[in-house]
C-alpha cells in the first residue's frame, strides 16, 4: 500500500486564524515514484482526488498541499478536511503517515 506524510504547520495555523479558507495540509514523502509523479501534476486546473486511510476523500490541487478551498464544493469533503485538519493541528509540525491512493473522479 502506498503512503504519504501529512502535517499542519505552525505557520499555517497562524496564517489561517483570520482566514479559514487559507487552511492547508502539507503532503510529502509519497512512498512510490508513481504517486509522487501524479502529485507533481496537481494544480488549480487539474485537481487529483485522494483517498486517505481508505476513508477520507479529498481533492489535491497543489503539488505540495491539500487546501480547504479545493474541497469546499462538497459538504463531505469539507467535513473530511475539517476533521483531518483538526487532528493534524493538534500536533503542529508533526508528520502523520497515511495510506493514500489516487482515485478516479
Whole-number Cα distances in Å, 10 to 24, 40, 44, 52, 61? 11, 24, 24, 22, 21
Which tens digits make up the pLDDT trace of 26-73? 999 999 999 999 999 999 899 999 999 999 999 999 999 999 999 999
CA 70 to chain centre: 10
**CB contact at 8 A, 96 and 5:** yes
pLDDT score of 105 more than 80: no
3-class secondary structure per residue, 25-37: EEEECCCCHHHHH
Reported pTM: 0.94
Amino acid at each position: 500500500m502506498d503512503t504519504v506524510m501529512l502535517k499542519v504547520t505552525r505557520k499555517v495555523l497562524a496564517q489561517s486564524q483570520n482566514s479559514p479558507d487559507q487552511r492547508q495540509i502539507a503532503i510529502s514523502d509519497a512512498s512510490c515514484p508513481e504517486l509522487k509523479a501524479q502529485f507533481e501534476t496537481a494544480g488549480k486546473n487539474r485537481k487529483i482526488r485522494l483517498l486517505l486511510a481508505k476513508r477520507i476523500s479529498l481533492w489535491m490541487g497543489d503539488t505540495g498541499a491539500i487546501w480547504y478551498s479545493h474541497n469546499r464544493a462538497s459538504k463531505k469533503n469539507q467535513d473530511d478536511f475539517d476533521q483531518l485538519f483538526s487532528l493534524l493541528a493538534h500536533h503542529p509540525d508533526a508528520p502523520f503517515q497515511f495510506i493514500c491512493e489516487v482515485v478516479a473522479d
